[in-house]
Amino acid sequence: MTTTLIIDHPWKGSFNHGVLNKLVAGLDQDQKIYQVIDLNKDGFDPVMKQEELAVYQSGSVLDPLVLHYMSLLRETTQLVLIFPIWWYSSPASLKGFLDKVLLNDFAFFDGGNGIQPLLSVDSVVVFTTSDQPTESLEQHCTRSYKHQLTTTLEDIGMRNISWYHIGSVKNLTEEERQEYLDSVYSKI
């Protein structure tokens, strides 16, 4: 079983990186096989360029980093996503990852009769954070940030999706932060 962790946060000192570090420590301790995709550290460009769009329908890839990510996803049996909710959505790099990596003939097949999933991932665990309280976030966007991502993941063959969100991060005490961080490994 290979766990692939994807993080989309530019600041290494972020709470999101704290979540990543706790997960990696647990995986190391249990001697589990894992790989990390740090979209910001990798310099991933989320913008779909004109030349990429020209070959999109054929499932062709021009970016070597996208090919690398596809290779990692082929080995993945458990996917872990870590990102903040900004303006009721994921940061741009994660959205671009979905657009540029989850291609036809790799993640799905669409022969005109609807999407057929091609990836087989046993479980997905999503960790999100926000400065906004969770209840307020869900009232304002009616969970659209969750629905868009989970629907996409299900369409390409990912199952057993769990989502853990912690809001009001800027108002948490150090004790509350540590308590949450200490709990994340048990969720995967």
Per-position pLDDT tens, the chain of length 188: 899 999 999 999 999 999 999 999 999 999 999 999 999 999 999 999 999 999 988 888 999 999 999 999 999 999 999 999 999 999 999 999 999 999 999 999 988 889 999 999 999 999 999 999 999 888 888 778 899 999 999 999 999 999 999 999 999 999 999 999 999 999 99
Q: What is the pLDDT of residue 140?
A: 83
* Contact present, 95 and 63 (Cβ < 8 Å): no
Q: Which residues have CB under 8 Å from 151's CB, separation 6+?
A: none
Supply the DSSP string of 44-109, one letter for each residue: ---S--HHHHHHHTTT----HHHHHHHHHHHT-SEEEEEEE-BTTB--HHHHHHHHHHS-BTTTEE
* Contact present, 33 and 2 (Cβ < 8 Å): yes
Instruction: Map residue 127 onto helix, strand or coil.
Output: strand
List the one residue out of 145, 125, 148 whose CA is nearest residue 137.
145
For the chain, what is the largest distance between any 2 Cα atoms, rounded to a whole number of angstroms? 53
Instruction: Give the integer Cα–Cα distance in Å for 146 and 128.
Output: 10
Give the chain's radius of gyration (CA, Å). Answer: 17
pTM: 0.96
The sign one gets for the Cα dihedral 112, 114, 118, 124 is: positive
